[in-house]
Amino acid sequence: MRKKRILFVINPVSGGKKKTTFNKQVLEVLDLNRFDPTFKVTDHANHGFELAKSAIEEGYDAVIAVGGDGTINEIGSALVGSNVPLGIVPEGSGNGLALYLGIPMNESAALRRINRFESVSIDCGKVGDRSFFNIAGIGFDASVSDKFASETFRGPVGYLRTVINVLSKYKPKKYTLNIDGKIYEREAFMISVANSPQYGNNAYIAPNASINDGLLDVCIVHKFPLYTLPMMIFHLFNKTADQSEYVEIIPGKKICIEQEGKAPVHLDGEPMDLGNKINIKVEGNALNIIC
């Protein structure tokens, strides 16, 4: 029987972790009687997307993202609509999608999952021709992503430091939302559009979101007094954000968010400038993921 050809796409800087021994570990754990691995390392923005597109053309049987949610976004975006599944070895700062899917954080355990080669089909969010698989956001979390992208100190500690820095200066903004034809005017601290429930590190913004229900959960975090911040954080990590009086969650398939002025938007933690009007829709069963 022909061996399955697998491409490992490695982000060398994700999560602040060195990956110099990763290839050796793959050769020790992967079932080499069934799989033929190839390794490529990203060295510029969107390189993962380019490598995954080439992998489809070259007849690979799977592409494995070795990195965080941003790396998964690049590679997954290239694989949307193809029959080539995405595998994940979580190496990011948050690993939101991997945690939700139950993919082990341990490298060897994640590789053993790939040996099983079982996959599930998931939805994705679309913003124009761009995809997201976990969470897109505007407001505070997008400002954090924008700031974090330029930081040299990575990992969860670096991310927390960025959160505190942005929080000390951030002001809520006014938004107009159109969710499946219904208009909402809101002043919000941030708005997250969730395909899966959590940002990462088990911080759940949309506890009831599902990656295969054909819906996106629009999570509006209203302006809240600073003294309630500990309770807001408690809700996030206790999977009860939907029970906070400052959080409003509205499911939808077609979403338009208009903001005052220009501010960054993030897709799976990757910041970008998409103007002041963002149109989002859900695409069902868009990507197969090995889990």
Provide the CATH number for the domain around residue 208. Answer: 2.60.200.40
Domain final residue pick, 91, 117, 143: 117
Residues 191 and 97 in one domain: no
How much of the chain is in helix, strand and coil states, percent to nearest 5? 30, 35, 35
Contacts of 109 by beta carbon, 8 Å cutoff, 6+ apart: none
pLDDT score at 244: 97
Total domains, the chain: 2
Residues 153 and 99 in one domain: no
pLDDT score at 253: 98
Q: With respect to residue 183, please indicate whether it lies within any of the assigned structural domains.
A: yes
Q: With respect to residue 31, please indicate whether it lies within any of the assigned structural domains.
A: yes
Q: With respect to residue 256, please indicate whether it lies within any of the assigned structural domains.
A: yes
Q: With respect to residue 15, please indicate whether it lies within any of the assigned structural domains.
A: yes
Residues 55 and 152 in one domain: no
Residue 16 belongs to a domain with what CATH number? 3.40.50.10330
Name the 3-class secondary structure at 198.
strand
User: Tens of pLDDT along 111-128?
Assistant: 999 999 999 999 999 998
Q: With respect to residue 109, please indicate whether it lies within any of the assigned structural domains.
A: yes
Q: With respect to residue 174, please indicate whether it lies within any of the assigned structural domains.
A: yes
| Dist CA 74 CA 268 (whole Å) | 10
pTM for the predicted model, two decimal places: 0.91
Residues 135 and 277 in one domain: yes
- Report residue 145's pLDDT band, with 50, 70 and 90 as the boundaries: confident
- Report residue 147's pLDDT band, with 50, 70 and 90 as the boundaries: confident
Residues 177 and 211 in one domain: yes
Domain final residue pick, 87, 117, 147: 117
Residues 174 and 280 in one domain: yes
Cβ atoms of 91 and 68 within 8 Å: the answer is yes
- Report residue 59's pLDDT band, with 50, 70 and 90 as the boundaries: very high
DSSP 8-state assignment for residue 95: B
Residues 166 and 245 in one domain: yes
Going by C-alpha positions, the residue among 111, 64, 118 that lies closest to residue 86 is 64
Identify the domain containing residue 8 by its residue range: 4-117
Q: With respect to residue 124, please indicate whether it lies within any of the assigned structural domains.
A: no
Cβ atoms of 173 and 188 within 8 Å: the answer is yes
